[in-house]
Structure 1
Amino acid sequence: MVQAIDPRTTGIRLRANGITFHCIEAGPKDGPLVLLLHGFPEFWWGWRYQIEPLASAGFHVLAPDQRGYNLSDKPEGRRAYELDTLAKDVLALGEELGYSRYSLIGHDWGGLVAWWAASRHPELIERLIAINAPHPAIAGAYMRRHPSQMLKSSYIGFFQVPYLPEALLAANDHRVLRRALLRTSRAGTFSEQDLVEYRRAWSQPGALTGMLNWYRALPLKPPHRSPDKLRPPVLAIWGMRDRFLEFGLCEDSLALCANGQAQKVEMATHWVHLEEPERINRALIAFLKA
């Protein structure tokens, strides 16, 4: 059984792309760099079962709180959360640590950022692992062809409204967010202690607005103009019982890759890396060392 990293692990502060990030760092400083990019509504704690196994496998691991989340800076305004800016955060963190190439592992929104960073700067990315996360370039077209996915993503429209989503998500000690995690995952995935850690992160000043600004910046998404297939090797891991995202998004994303493969996890949900950490960690390490 994989043991979670201590939630009180002391983080580091890194200045990158004009803001300060709170990050958890582990593993040998001279090992290959792997950046772990969490999604909504998580923070670095979303990688609690992956950080130490990857570090023990010889990787230099960095798990940042992405901009707007937990203890990282929270710039004002939705334009501070455009996809190009989010991708530049990743690249700047790699540069700050002195690496010219590195691998990215992203879940949910973190996976979208990883896809975008690899598409914009493939020369910097060694390998890419996207966990239940589609390439941003295909998401809109897929939804237009599949009303079922549009219905699953309808909450994004509500998140565009100012102020009201923050009030709803904060009410009753973040009850909506807590219930969303529990309702969309397998039983036992999120413990009471996990929810304490998440509530602490959501309660940071400005955090809910920062988190929602990722969605509010979606209408500002720049076009994806690359005529070439994505060059870095890609592994897309997909929990097939995801209540938010259909597997067709994964297939369309891999169609953009020169060397892409999918690994389905039939009984897992959107939170596959938390539900089946031993299996997922084996897959991550094998792919990164291939």
Structure 2
Amino acid sequence: MLEPAVRHRHVALDGLRLHLAEAGPEDGPPTILLHGFPEFWFGWRHQIGPLAGSGLRLLVPDQRGYGLSDRPRGLAAYHLDRLAADVVALADACGAGRFRLVGHDWGGLVAFWVASIHPERVERLAVLNAFHPGVFGPYLRAHPGQLLRSAYAGLFQVPRLPERLLTARDSSLLRALMRRSARPGTFGPAELDRYAREWARPGAVTAMLDWYRALARLPRARHPPPVTAPTLILWGERDAALQPGLATASLALCERGRLQRFPDATHWVQHEAPEAVNTALIDFLHA
């Protein structure tokens, strides 16, 4: 991806400003890319050039709490319904009535939720190493091994302490979490420095952790509607945090879903296998 091909601006929503990176032709099919924890729009750097070059109009926001976007205070600001509403409001602000939607990690949870509760807006859905929020509770009760993998999210529920641990010594722990959960060499020092600059912004890590806190504490629809849009799930099988069964469980909530596995990739599949991921996304999003 060449940085000059990416256009940056802020978009005003209802009481919130999101930083937005854009690429691709203005008249191309609108396609929103949603990053996860602890990234920002830069997490799609390997995808932006190829996807834009294929003719897609890319809208790549820093989601609320991240990067250069606003960081509202309080857990209610990070309820899953609000995160989904941001996506729809962003599409409205950019003149996109219907759009293609791609999400990784937390961005995948939000993308699944948007497709479930706003089916009239999502033309096609692609999710990378993320589960549908409606399946996690039942899956966790049936698969105690996933509880062990999710222990870090329990630590995130503690007030203030996780922020201090994650950001101490120039965010050395957050750097190590990204580096150790990926294949060797996936995240180099220069890339981690760029992430660390975003984590160091005032209130950034608290806002990022409030996504986890809100998901655990705030009620939401118990039985979300199934996803009716054509759906592609891309899954790195060596994900240290999420069992592969979550992909299968999520697929069961998709009326027209398909699962593509990457046996040698981790949670960071779009960084580790960018060419294969880009090919899969371009073929699917243009179908």
For the aligned pair, the TM-score class normalised by the smaller chain equals over 0.9
TM superposition shift of 1:9: 5.3
Cα distance in 1 between the residues matched to 2:284 and 2:271? 18
Cα RMSD for the two superposed structures: 1.3
Q: 1:249 to 1:17 in 2, by over 3 A?
A: farther
Q: Which amino acid aligns with 1:203?
A: A
Q: Which amino acid aligns with 1:220?
A: L
TM superposition shift of 1:17: 3.6
Q: Deviations over 1:58-111 (max 9, x none)?
A: 111011000001110000011100000000000000010111100110000000
Task: Tell me the matched-pair count.
Answer: 286
TM superposition shift of 1:10: 5.1
Cα distance in 1 between the residues matched to 2:118 and 2:182? 34
SS in 2 for 1:29: coil
Query: When the two structures are superposed, what TM-score results if normalisation uses the length of structure 2?
Result: 0.97
Residue identity (%): 52
Cα distance in 1 between the residues matched to 2:104 and 2:155? 22
SS in 1 for 2:103: strand
Q: Deviations over 1:10-48 (max 9, x none)?
A: 521001242001111011111101101000000011000
Hey, what does 2:23 align to over in structure 1?
26
Hey, what does 1:107 align to over in structure 2?
104
Hey, what does 1:222 align to over in structure 2?
220
Hey, what does 2:155 align to over in structure 1?
158
SS in 2 for 1:123: coil
Hey, what does 2:13 align to over in structure 1?
16
TM superposition shift of 1:8: 11
TM superposition shift of 1:205: 1.1
Contact 1:173 1:199 in 2 (8 A): yes
Q: Deviations over 1:137-183 (max 9, x none)?
A: 00111111111101100111111111111111110110110001110
Hey, what does 2:184 align to over in structure 1?
187
Contact 2:231 2:256 in 1 (8 A): yes
Q: Which amino acid aligns with 1:89?
A: D
Hey, what does 1:68 align to over in structure 2?
65
Q: Does 1:120 align with 2:120?
A: no
Cα distance in 2 between the residues matched to 1:78 and 1:229? 26
Q: Does 1:267 align with 2:264?
A: yes
Contact 2:5 2:23 in 1 (8 A): no
TM superposition shift of 1:221: 3.8
Contact 1:17 1:88 in 2 (8 A): no
TM superposition shift of 1:191: 1.2
Cα distance in 2 between the residues matched to 1:7 and 1:151? 43
Cα distance in 2 between the residues matched to 1:284 and 1:139? 25
TM superposition shift of 1:224: 3.6
| Ranges in structure 1 where 5+ consecutive residues have no aligned partner | none
Contact 2:6 2:23 in 1 (8 A): no
Q: Which amino acid aligns with 2:20?
A: C
Cα distance in 1 between the residues matched to 2:5 and 2:275? 22
Hey, what does 1:211 align to over in structure 2?
208
Q: Which amino acid aligns with 2:16?
A: I
Contact 1:7 1:45 in 2 (8 A): no
Q: Which amino acid aligns with 2:140?
A: M
Hey, what does 1:178 align to over in structure 2?
175
SS in 1 for 2:3: coil
1:45 to 37, 42, 47: 42
1:240 to 237, 243, 258: 237
Cα distance in 1 between the residues matched to 2:28 and 2:178? 34
SS in 2 for 1:286: helix
TM superposition shift of 1:5: 3.9
SS in 1 for 2:120: helix
Hey, what does 2:144 align to over in structure 1?
147
Query: When the two structures are superposed, what TM-score results if normalisation uses the length of structure 1?
Result: 0.96
Contact 1:131 1:238 in 2 (8 A): yes
SS in 2 for 1:216: helix
Larger displacement relative to structure 2 (159-168 or 107-116): 159-168
